[in-house]
Amino acid sequence: MPKLTFFNLDPERRQAVLDASVEEFAKHPYEQASLSRIVDNCGIAKGSMYQYFEDKLDLYLYIVDLAYEQKRAYVGKAFSLEGDIFTVLEEYYWQSHLFAKDFPLLHQVANNFWDSRVLLPQIEEGRIDRARDFSKFLEEAIASGKANPDLDPQAVFFVYHAVGKDLVDEFERGTNGEFIREVLDVLRYGLQVRREV
Amino acid sequence: MPKLTFFNLDPERRQAVLDASVEEFAKHPYEQASLSRIVDNCGIAKGSMYQYFEDKLDLYLYIVDLAYEQKRAYVGKAFSLEGDIFTVLEEYYWQSHLFAKDFPLLHQVANNFWDSRVLLPQIEEGRIDRARDFSKFLEEAIASGKANPDLDPQAVFFVYHAVGKDLVDEFERGTNGEFIREVLDVLRYGLQVRREV
DNA sequence: TTTTTGTATGACCACCCAGTCACATCCTGT
DNA sequence: ACAGGATGTGACTGGGTGGTCATACAAAAA
């Protein structure tokens, strides 16, 4: 967490620090991001940064938090939706996409986070949280006869996690809603031909 | 490509250079890998490295090439297999898994390559190549009535690419053949219940 | 024997990094 | 007017990086 000094700051100055930091961590993963570049880009002294934050990691985790806070404001809408698991998933990725469009830099910060090599414990923790949420969701869908009960739930989560991650990456290249729907259709219907009753 | 000097080298010395380089590029992505550490670990002088290779990138690309050459020796078997697309895919990932088990360092080198930030053109090129191969394969499967013709081929490739990448990452955590099959089943049958005739 | 050629070496260069600290500045309460 | 706390500063430290180069050695060619 930032030190108190940071919150006492002149808002304009504080925003300049945030903007420069977000930009740096959007362009570079944690290990390659440079504090020197950040202070150059917002025109404050190196020493000042250490009045506001404990160290580079403290700043980084704060910025990542900001990004995810904003992202939750978008994707959260999906979960309050009435509808089956397929509707919710489509809305989830659609909201992710809108977030990426509205806050491209925050989106990149959030994405870079998963590639980091120093923060493996935090990343693993996040994965486990998501897996738990997802499996509860999946169980309901199976119970209500919407989802295929023959599939291994762990494997299902694995597939959705992998595809979701790349889908979100793809947003930087201007994916549209149509593509999201087509990708989800692949996951929904499977590659093998269906000869339903 | 390495300079001639490298190939004229005493094989033992050459192997020491290769071993140390593979280890470094397995542990660290290109940008964070350190030439100084490599020369320390194989006990040769920094200057010698520049008798063998143009620069860090030259060395790196050579090591990546070695890794992929070895990997092709494994996954290549899948394509010479008789059987439908599902059989081939399962064999493909199974061979990837065996490769990762037999050559864990080379496997990591190959995997790190996709995360690199300086080599985006090469990476995109590789993706396009794989997409072309895959779509030819997919068309055959659709034509012979094995694969669902209603799906968008681009989306299908996208899903398989994403899942394949993560599946291969997962090998480091000791995945077994069973999990590969379960993941492929998710892709094959889809999440929605099937009520086949 | 002398010369040329190929190779090995590590001190050295310029540059970048995160983080520190002695000092300057400003503001507020007395 | 003064004191004292909060804030701003940038030169500096110690350590890392990729890459260079004069020098040394060896062996083969003259």
Closest CA relative to residue B184, chosen from B86, B97, B79, B100:
B86
Q: Which nucleotide across the nucleic acid strands is nearest to A48, CA versus C1'?
A: D8
Integer Cα distance of B97 and B176 in angstroms: 8
Backbone angles phi, psi at B109, to 5 degrees: -60, -50
Q: How far is A5 from chain B (nearest CA, A)?
A: 33
Cβ separation B166–A170 shorter than 8 A = no
What the block records as the tokens of B162 is: 């994403």
In this structure, is the CB of residue B35 within 7 Å of any atom belonging to strand D? yes
Cβ separation A192–B196 shorter than 8 A = no
Cβ separation B152–A187 shorter than 8 A = no
Contact, B183 vs A158, CB < 8 A? yes
Contact, A113 vs A64, CB < 8 A? yes
Contact, B53 vs B70, CB < 8 A? no
Cβ separation A188–B183 shorter than 8 A = no
In this structure, is the CB of residue B34 within 7 Å of any atom belonging to strand D? yes
Q: State the pLDDT at residue B118.
A: 76
Backbone angles phi, psi at B190, to 5 degrees: 80, 160
CA of B3 to C1' of C2 (A): 30
CATH class given for the domain over B4-189: mainly alpha
Domain boundaries along the sequence of chain B: 4-189
Residue of A27, A159, A161, A182 for testing the chain B interface, max B β-carbons within 10 Å: A159
**Which residue in the block uniquely carries the two structure tokens 């892709």?**
B187
The residues of chain A scoring below 50 in pLDDT are none
Q: Would you give per-residue pLDDT tens digits along chain B (197 residues)?
A: 999 999 999 999 999 999 999 999 999 999 999 999 999 999 999 999 999 999 999 999 999 999 999 999 999 999 888 888 899 999 999 999 999 999 999 999 999 998 888 788 888 888 888 889 888 889 999 999 999 999 999 999 999 989 988 888 888 777 788 999 999 999 999 999 988 76
Integer Cα distance of B119 and B114 in angstroms: 9
In this structure, is the CB of residue A36 within 7 Å of any atom belonging to strand C? yes
Cβ separation A151–B194 shorter than 8 A = no
pLDDT tens column, A90-136: 999 999 999 999 999 999 999 999 888 878 888 888 889 888 988 88
Residue of A114, A161, A191, A195 for testing the chain B interface, max B β-carbons within 10 Å: A191
Contact, A99 vs A107, CB < 8 A? yes
Closest CA relative to residue B103, chosen from B172, B36, B150, B12:
B172
